[in-house]
Structure 1
Amino acid sequence: MRLLQTALTAIYPPRCLGCGDMVDSDFGLCGVCWGKTAFVGGTVCDSCSTPLPGSAQDEVVHCDACLRAPKPWKHGRAALIYTGMGRKLVLQLKHGDRQEIAKPAAGWMQQAVAGMAADNALIAPVPLHWMRLVKRRYNQSALIATHLSAMTGHEVCADLLERPRRTPSLDGKTKGERADILDGAIRVTPRRRHRIVNRPVILVDDVMTTGATLAACAEACRAAGATEVCVAVLARVAKDA
């Protein structure tokens, strides 16, 4: 087995996820790409993971936007800021058929979500409409969720949520327009409803912009009987990104 692994490494040497240069191990970033990746750290909003000034330790803080309009979930965490290499990786995973990015993405998210939810929390990805899933061939959020489940020990239910109708892109839409578009667009899959009754849920997505889609998912979970909902995303669009 070791000889086979050595032979495969010689034929297919590990490549940087960002630029393709050779690196020491699989699913890694070279020094240059690592420097271009903005990992979330320091003081962040407990709801949406937006970076905040100051150095609050062991203190729950929220950004002004979440104070004005609280999110329908308990905690929200992001691994990266959606800029530079973080943005590139999200787009490659989402639209470039770079499914191998899902595993390291889950690894970066693992530390961010550590201790965020109870041990019996159920991981669920944000769903795609079936027409979009057929076109893309995979749900990038489901790929991340599956790897995150393996790393954290939390059970995963890839089809907990569904989109009974297709919705247009939310890009450029106002808060009210997004709410109207998503009204009734996401629900708990009827045959999976029993999985979340009296149980916490961790919603997983690739990127959070305004949080409208995640809010629709969280509200659907709460309406179906989830005790609480937390959110974990690979990247967060920050106001200063």
Structure 2
Amino acid sequence: MSDKFSSLEWLPDAVDRAEQPLKPSLRNIKVASHLRRGLHFVLDALFPHSCPICTDLVQGEGGLCLSCWQTLELISPPYCERLGVPLHYELGPNAWSATALVNPPDYDRARAAALYNGPARELVKRFKFYGEIRLSKFLARCMLNAAAELVEAESFLVPVPLHSSRLRERTYNQSALLVKDVGRHLSGQVLLDGLVRTRRTNQQVGLKRGARTANVKGAFAIADHFLPKVSGAHVVLVDDVLTTGATVEECARVLKAAGAEQVDVLVFALVDPENMSDDSD
């Protein structure tokens, strides 16, 4: 069903372009608005949308049904200032979790919309491995509250890159899609190719923390066109999920070695270190 819907995504875009006459008038705007609503009504009637988790029908494309939405474990305060993981009780402003105190990461802050379990885990798997790129807009909307705390006008929004061979296999970089959709709502500077992956690494799934770190060691570099801008920069790395943090920490080390002043991490979901397992993606 998702392929059928994705093939229709140009239709609302075509209406968007039709809404921009050379000399806009209130009447034209109202007519275009009615046309757009009518078009969406017809499409929804002809091709009902389904929840990506349970396949129950939902009103709009890319959203969850009420039942699945209620089981999504959204992250809200109090949470660790450094890792972004929920705290069991309020410890005051800028509190760190025990994990962050014992083993602080190489990035400065991480923020996520949800914990990586239940519906969030299923959403990431469908988005990342099953080609359901329509989910990008929904995941990005969920990430906006977390993003607002990190992103400022001078921030660079940079996706975690895929190696060129893996990009050819998958045909898209899920992190780049999230950057584009998050960037539409924020004032930061979107830079889709700020980092490059210099060698193909093994999949991180199933690897323990030490093996994950070794797997991505030396696997990233700063793109030549971005290098002159890195010194003193604030970079927000964007990815779909944060598990051990090995990948984003390696990216952060490369950026900071080149002079980046601050490197933060924005993801849709993260794994609570207290519930870490080796099969996390």
Structure 1 residue 35, shift from structure 2 partner: 2.0
CA distance, structure 1, for counterparts of residue 228 and residue 47 of structure 2: 45
CA distance, structure 2, for counterparts of residue 93 and residue 176 of structure 1: 27
Letter in 1 for 2:61: D
Partner of 2:216: 182
Question: Structure 1-normalised TM-score?
Answer: 0.92
Instruction: Give the unaligned 5+ runs of structure 2.
Output: 1-34, 277-281
Structure 1 residue 189, shift from structure 2 partner: 1.4
Contact 1:117 1:230 in 2 (8 A): no
- Whose RCO is larger (CA < 8 A, sep 6+)? 1
CA distance, structure 2, for counterparts of residue 233 and residue 158 of structure 1: 15
Contact 1:105 1:144 in 2 (8 A): yes
Contact 1:45 1:62 in 2 (8 A): yes
CA distance, structure 2, for counterparts of residue 172 and residue 29 of structure 1: 29
Letter in 1 for 2:129: H
Structure 1 residue 113, shift from structure 2 partner: 2.0
Higher mean alpha-carbon deviation, 87-96 vs 38-47, is at 38-47
Task: Name the SS of the counterpart of 1:40 in structure 2.
Answer: coil
* Structure-2 change in CA distance of 1:189 and 1:53 (3 Å): same
CA distance, structure 1, for counterparts of residue 133 and residue 107 of structure 2: 28
Instruction: Give the unaligned 5+ runs of structure 1.
Output: none
The partner residue of 2:239 within 184, 195, 205 is 205
CA distance, structure 1, for counterparts of residue 41 and residue 59 of structure 2: 13
CA distance, structure 1, for counterparts of residue 40 and residue 206 of structure 2: 48
The partner residue of 1:100 within 118, 128, 134 is 134
Q: Does 1:10 align with 2:37?
A: no
CA distance, structure 2, for counterparts of residue 165 and residue 117 of structure 1: 29
Partner of 1:75: 109
Higher mean alpha-carbon deviation, 135-144 vs 180-189, is at 180-189
Contact 2:155 2:234 in 1 (8 A): yes
Equivalent pairs: percent with the same residue? 34
Structure 1 residue 182, shift from structure 2 partner: 1.9
Structure 1 residue 165, shift from structure 2 partner: 0.6
Structure 1 residue 42, shift from structure 2 partner: 2.8
Larger radius of gyration: 2
Structure 1 residue 183, shift from structure 2 partner: 1.8
Q: Does 1:24 align with 2:59?
A: yes
Partner of 2:198: 164
Higher mean alpha-carbon deviation, 31-40 vs 191-200, is at 191-200
Partner of 1:135: 169
CA distance, structure 2, for counterparts of residue 72 and residue 186 of structure 1: 15
Question: Structure 2-normalised TM-score?
Answer: 0.80
* Structure-2 change in CA distance of 1:50 and 1:129 (3 Å): same
Letter in 1 for 2:172: Y
CA distance, structure 2, for counterparts of residue 73 and residue 147 of structure 1: 23
Task: Name the SS of the counterpart of 2:233 in structure 1.
Answer: coil
Number of aligned residue pairs: 240
Tell me the alpha carbon deviations over residues 157-190 of structure 1, each in whole angstroms, 9 at most, x when there is no partner.
1111111111112334343333322221111112
Pairwise CA RMSD of aligned residues? 1.7
Tell me the alpha carbon deviations over residues 114-154 of structure 1, each in whole angstroms, 9 at most, x when there is no partner.
13243210100111111111100000111011101111121
